[in-house]
């Protein structure tokens, strides 16, 4: 059977009127940058890319060398593409403007260049997450932070790359979720996972259990019931997985179902949550909803959160809809 590449798939999407030519080319540039990041990730100690960079990012977190390398690759690849008006990155405090003498396009790109950084040095899967918005600024003006502060429902594309045993590129443009596997010999992403879907029910959950004592009551109750297994109110045993790389945890859920939670807790309350809304929660929420799952903060739909700041954080509950609905119900109606 003839193999369909990401490029061919995107041309089909354009022909069907689902994406513009510019958005197609923008996604191609992002995918090419992800290939380059994947090459660096896979070389590991051979290329001297492991370990700390010796700097802090905008969130005050210590940057790994690969955080910096991945960020540079994405910024440089996308600067000259001509499809973007500006970019925002987890690793950069301010909006990154396209240099004035480069061609500018009508889109805004947001990304977490390297997700799951704590896994780099121990050779466990990491990823890249991205989100694309339309630039609301008319004319030649530079889009500032306010241009980016659109709810997740406005995303025109979202996706991630997973640098695991195989490198994958998973994408939605609002018509289902489609997965591509990198053929390293050919250098192209091959369409291997059409219309990825998340089962409604599951027996698997993902949460950092070491935070248990810091959780709010609804999450304590929900996880407590899961742990009671077949003898408890859920009448079934649940398994647990936690990779500590959101891309890997979400990819597992897209593959076989499950619920992923980074809920509000006493440790991250001051910051509003742990995960970043604009380039972690929103793109993953769009992907999960497009795959038939659900995504909330525990209290409201993530995609409807009105952003206040570029680097805003939110609590996240996403995955199989039965479980996400239950966790959300426990928050909104504790007596239920
Ligand atoms: O170390 P913890 O508290 O389990 O947090 C893990 C979470 O933090 C993150 O690593 C944050 O991503 P970054 O590596 O991009 O900062 C998520 O991918 C993951 O779900
Ligand atoms: Mg991240
Ligand atoms: Mg990161």
Q: Domain boundaries in the chain? A: 6-193, 204-332
Euclidean distance between CA atoms 175 and 145, whole angstroms:
28
**Helix (H/G/I), strand (E/B), else coil: 138:** coil
Mean pLDDT, all residues of the chain: 95
Which of 40-44, 58-62, 329-333 shows the lowest per-residue confidence on average (mean pLDDT)? 58-62
Nearest bound ligand to CA 268? 1
Q: How far is the CA of 203 from the centre of ligand 3 (A)?
A: 29
Question: Mean pLDDT throughout 302-324?
Answer: 98
Enter the DSSP assignment of 203: S
CB of residue 115 inside a 6 A radius of ligand 1:
yes
Report the CATH number of the 6-193 domain.
Answer: 3.30.540.10
Q: At what angle do helices 6-15 and 21-43 cross, to 10 degrees?
A: 160
pLDDT at res. 44: 86
pLDDT at res. 130: 98
Residue 59 has pLDDT above 80, yes or no: no
Residue (of 138, 76, 73, 143) closest to 108 by Cα position: 143
Euclidean distance between CA atoms 84 and 82, whole angstroms:
6
Residue (of 220, 252, 221, 254) closest to 239 by Cα position: 252
pTM: 0.96
Question: Mean pLDDT throughout 54-68?
Answer: 84
pLDDT at res. 111: 98
Residue 283 has pLDDT above 80, yes or no: yes
Residue (of 175, 193, 190, 205) closest to 286 by Cα position: 175
What are the tens digits of pLDDT across the range 220-274?
Answer: 999 999 999 999 999 999 999 999 999 999 999 999 999 999 999 999 999 999 9
Euclidean distance between CA atoms 81 and 250, whole angstroms:
29
What is the number of the ligand 1 atom nearest to the C-alpha of 260?
20
Question: Mean pLDDT throughout 121-137?
Answer: 95
CB of residue 117 inside a 6 A radius of ligand 1:
yes
Whether residue 280 is annotated as binding a ligand: the answer is yes
Handedness of CA 240, 243, 246, 248 (dihedral sign): negative
Those residues whose C-beta lies under 8 Å from the C-beta of residue 164, and which sit 6 or more positions away, are 125, 248, 251
pLDDT at res. 315: 98
Question: Mean pLDDT throughout 11-35?
Answer: 97
Residue (of 165, 155, 117, 108) closest to 287 by Cα position: 155
Put the strands of the sheet holding 126-134 in their side by side order: 96-97, 84-89, 107-115, 126-134, 157-163, 167-172, 178-183, 188-193
What are the tens digits of pLDDT across the range 180-203?
Answer: 999 999 999 999 999 999 999 999
**Helix (H/G/I), strand (E/B), else coil: 249:** helix
Residue 1 has pLDDT above 70, yes or no: no
Enter the DSSP assignment of 5: B
pLDDT at res. 49: 77
CB of residue 268 inside a 6 A radius of ligand 1:
no
Question: Which fold would CATH assign to domain 204-332?
Answer: D-Maltodextrin-Binding Protein; domain 2 (3.40.190)
- Give the pairing of strands 107-115 and 126-134: antiparallel
What are the tens digits of pLDDT across the range 104-113?
Answer: 789 999 999 9
Q: How far is the CA of 19 from the centre of ligand 3 (A)?
A: 27
CB of residue 116 inside a 6 A radius of ligand 1:
yes
What are the tens digits of pLDDT across the range 80-102?
Answer: 878 899 999 999 999 999 887 77
Q: What angle do CA 64, 75, 59 make, to 5 degrees?
A: 45
């Amino acid at each position: 059977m003839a193999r369909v590449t990401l490029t061919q798939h995107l041309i089909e999407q354009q022909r069907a009127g689902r994406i513009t030519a510019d958005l197609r080319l923008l996604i191609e540039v992002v995918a090419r940058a992800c290939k380059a990041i994947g090459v660096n990730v896979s070389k590991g100690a051979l290329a001297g890319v492991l370990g700390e960079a010796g700097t802090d990012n905008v969130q005050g977190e210590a940057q790994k060398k690969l955080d910096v390398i991945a960020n540079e690759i994405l910024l440089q690849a996308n600067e000259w593409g001509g499809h973007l008006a500006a970019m925002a990155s987890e690793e950069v405090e301010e909006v990154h403007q396209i240099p004035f003498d480069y061609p500018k396009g009508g889109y805004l790109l947001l990304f977490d260049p390297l997700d799951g950084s704590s896994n780099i040095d121990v050779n466990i899967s990491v990823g890249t997450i991205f989100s694309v918005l339309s630039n609301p600024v008319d004319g030649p003006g530079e889009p500032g932070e306010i241009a980016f502060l659109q709810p997740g429902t406005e995303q025109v594309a979202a996706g991630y790359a997973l640098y695991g045993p195989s490198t994958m590129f998973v994408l939605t443009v609002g018509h289902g979720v489609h997965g591509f596997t990198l053929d390293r010999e050919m250098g192209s992403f091959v369409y291997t996972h059409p219309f990825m879907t998340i089962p409604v029910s599951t027996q698997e959950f993902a949460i950092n259990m070491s935070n248990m004592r810091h959780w709010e009551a609804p999450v304590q109750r929900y996880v407590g019931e899961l742990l009671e297994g077949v003898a408890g109110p859920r009448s079934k045993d649940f398994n647990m997985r936690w990779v500590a790389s959101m891309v890997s945890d979400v990819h597992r859920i897209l593959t076989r179902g499950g619920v992923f939670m980074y809920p509000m807790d006493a440790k991250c309350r001051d910051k509003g949550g742990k995960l970043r809304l604009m380039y972690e929660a929103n793109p993953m929420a769009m992907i999960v909803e497009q795959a038939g799952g659900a995504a909330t903060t525990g209290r409201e739909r993530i995609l409807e959160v009105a952003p206040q700041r570029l680097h805003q954080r939110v609590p996240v509950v996403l995955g199989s809809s039965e479980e996400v609905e239950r966790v959300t119900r426990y928050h909104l109606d504790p007596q239920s």
